[in-house]
Homo-oligomer: A and B are copies of this chain.
């Protein structure tokens, strides 16, 4: 049971009064907004940077939440970055570069949160999002695709307005399957996801042209309603022996 199931309608991103991750994973109500959240804040339990509807318990105390070092779970992984960013970073002023990266990260996060995903990692211009943990959603494949469409829409518009002298575009890769979620270094306590599914999502993204969303066959099969009229593409991905079948979503 999720909070939206309790309240009867999906919560708007950033408006949950109790942590949706702790609720979905442990059925434990941890206040993150309003007066009830004050004593928790005094102990450093606040809203997570990964998603404002979850709390820092979900973010940093994976072993407390799941009672093990890692779990294997079905999830959808989304990677996105600014295409041509390396070339761009060689030619553009620092202040302009920082504005572009900030704009992309902020818009992408908003789109991911609105679909109950978390921004698990940011590295340079790129980011990785997880759907279905810690906020559970049966339709995590569709949620990730919807987030990707919204990322493309909002960023294309905003990047064009920046007037950098370059045509900038976002590339997105999405894959669905079993991943390992947990803490994978003894000195960092925030959880992440690893495994073949995660890597394949990253590889798909690296093949996406500006404006493209490359969706794996596995993701497509879970959200056929969103994939009508899309182009099929067979890709040869680095480190993966077999060609990978994907579908190409374009926003226009």
A residues whose Cβ falls under 8 Å from a Cβ of B: 44, 49, 52, 69-70, 72, 84-87, 89-90, 94, 97-98, 101-102, 105-106, 109, 119, 121-126, 128, 180, 182, 184-189, 192, 194-196, 198-200, 202-203, 237-241
Contacts and interface: CB of A to CB of B under 8 A. Distances in A.
A72 to B, nearest CB: 6
Nearest to A60: B49
Given A49-B189, A102-B184, 4 more contacts: A85-B239, A101-B185, A102-B186, A105-B184
Contacts of A87: 239-241
B239 A196 contact: no
A89 B238 contact: no
A138 B98 CA distance: 26
A203 B49 contact: no
A109 B185 contact: yes
Given A109-B187, A188-B49, A97 B241 contact: no
Contact of A196 (B90, B122, B187, B238): B90
B70 A196 contact: no
A195 to B, nearest CB: 6
A108 to B, nearest CB: 9
